Amino acid sequence: MELGKTGLFNLIKMNILRKISINIYNLLTGEKESFVYRALFLFLLISPVIILAVIDYTNTDRDITKSILAERRSLSIISADIIDENLDRIVDLGISYTTRPRVIEYVEKGDWKGALSIANHALDLFPYFDRIIIYNPEGVIKADSPHAILVSLVKAEPTKNGIIMLKAVGNLTFQEST
């Protein structure tokens, strides 16, 4: 009997399948070297499950982290917009007090206490104000309410962008207001 290439290949396949089936039979029935085969069988059965669980965990962790970061980013943008709007309202309030004719009249005369008495009305109406400070055009503090007058030499310098920067020229000291 002469075997061709396909016949020899089929014979080898059959021999390998027979050995595998014998090993599985020994594993299941507890024949010789069953501990090694059972450990190998459990390893081959459980390791893909563990690998898939680790991959799924890392994907879930990455997705949750992206979601949390996106939520924090949107919260910070909303908070910044709210703070910007509130600061704009405070600036508008300051402009409305400083453009009153009596305040302008007191400032032109150099009566800083008179101008401050009108602006002090804001301390009673708006509880989030704890202090009102009036500067002259050079940036020197002229009046402060309710605590102390801050005496300093501050120079206002416009920058290239049109922003006014206040620079301290001398030492800062406090004087009790009267």
Q: What is the DSSP string of 93-137?
A: HHHHHHTSHHHHHHHHHT-HHHHHHHHTHHHHH-TT---EEEE-T
pLDDT value, residue 154: 58
CB 43 within 8 A of CB 51: no
Candidate ranges 3-7, 114-118, 128-132; pick with highest mean pLDDT = 114-118
pLDDT of 124 over the 80 cut: no
Local confidence band at 67 (pLDDT 50, 70, 90 cut-offs)? very high
Q: Write the pLDDT tens digit of every residue in 72-106.
A: 999 999 999 999 998 888 888 878 877 888 888 88
pLDDT classification of 52: cutoffs 50, 70, 90: very high
Look up tokens 């309030």; give the residue: 93
In which band, very low, low, confident or very high, does the pLDDT at 37 lie, cut at 50, 70 and 90? low
Average pLDDT value for the chain: 77
- Per-residue pLDDT band for 158 (boundaries 50, 70, 90) equals low
Q: What is the pLDDT of residue 156?
A: 63
pLDDT the model gives residue 177: 44
Per the model's pLDDT, the better-predicted residue between 103 and 62 turns out to be: 62
pTM, full prediction: 0.46
